């Protein structure tokens, strides 16, 4: 049984559909980006779960679902505790350094993204693979702003 099928079975067909820019998805597919940073995380799903990646049209993106990966865990970064230390000392605490390294973000990008939130979530990326799907395969009319739950009744889709 493949890992996507296994993760779908664990979650009764529930998965996540994530919008992502081409530049970041390319880094995931190349194996360089092993953490996707978001301001929220799924609560209604168990690890491991499947993340389908909708590649946005920005910067030459495909405007369809071009990849999927397994999320085995989610790390939490306490921005309110860690960011002031980073700014004051110019030295990154261990968790912040891990987020920077694994997400391919600079500290400045991480700070800009998470400066007004209490927590950032680092979705751990495993086993990325190419898929070729449309939003309509999930009965979704438009791409999510960040992510949303979807249901997959059979895998692979026919």
Kindly state the percentage of the chain with pLDDT values over 90: 78
Can you list the alpha helix ranges (DSSP code H) found in the chain? 3-10, 22-29, 79-89, 94-103, 107-114
Instruction: Give pLDDT tens digits along the chain (158 positions).
Output: 478 999 999 999 999 999 999 999 999 999 999 999 999 999 999 999 999 999 999 999 999 999 999 999 999 999 888 888 777 777 888 899 999 999 999 999 999 998 888 899 999 999 999 999 999 999 999 999 999 999 998 777 65
- Give the number of residues written for the chain: 158
Whole-number pLDDT of residue 26: 97
pLDDT digits (tens, 9 = 90+) for 54-88: 999 999 999 999 999 999 999 999 988 888 877 77
Q: Pick from 38, 9, 19, 33: which is nearest to 128 by CA? A: 33
Greatest Cα pair distance, the chain, in angstroms, is 54
Whole-number pLDDT of residue 158: 52
* pTM, to two decimals: 0.93
Exposure class string for 89-117: b at 16+ Cβ within 10 A, else e: eeebbebbeebbebbbbebeebbebbeee
| Contacts (Cβ under 8 Å, ≥6 apart) of 57 | 63
Count the neighbouring beta carbons within 10 Å of the beta carbon of residue 156: 10
């Amino acid at each position: 049984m493949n890992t996507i099928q296994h993760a779908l079975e664990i979650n009764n067909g529930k998965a996540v559909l994530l919008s992502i820019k081409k530049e970041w998805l390319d880094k995931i597919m190349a194996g360089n980006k092993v953490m996707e940073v978001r301001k929220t995380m799924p609560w209604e799903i168990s690890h491991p779960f499947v993340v389908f990646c909708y590649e946005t049209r920005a910067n030459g993106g495909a405007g369809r679902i071009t990849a999927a990966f397994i999320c085995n865990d989610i790390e939490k970064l306490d921005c309110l505790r860690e960011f002031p230390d980073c700014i004051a000392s110019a030295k990154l605490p261990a968790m912040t350094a891990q987020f920077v390294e694994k997400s391919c973000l600079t500290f400045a990008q991480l700070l800009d993204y998470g400066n007004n939130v209490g927590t950032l979530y680092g979705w751990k990326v495993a086993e990325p693979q190419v898929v070729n799907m449309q939003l309509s395969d999930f009965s979704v009319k438009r791409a999510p702003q960040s992510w949303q739950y979807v249901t997959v009744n059979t895998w692979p889709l026919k």
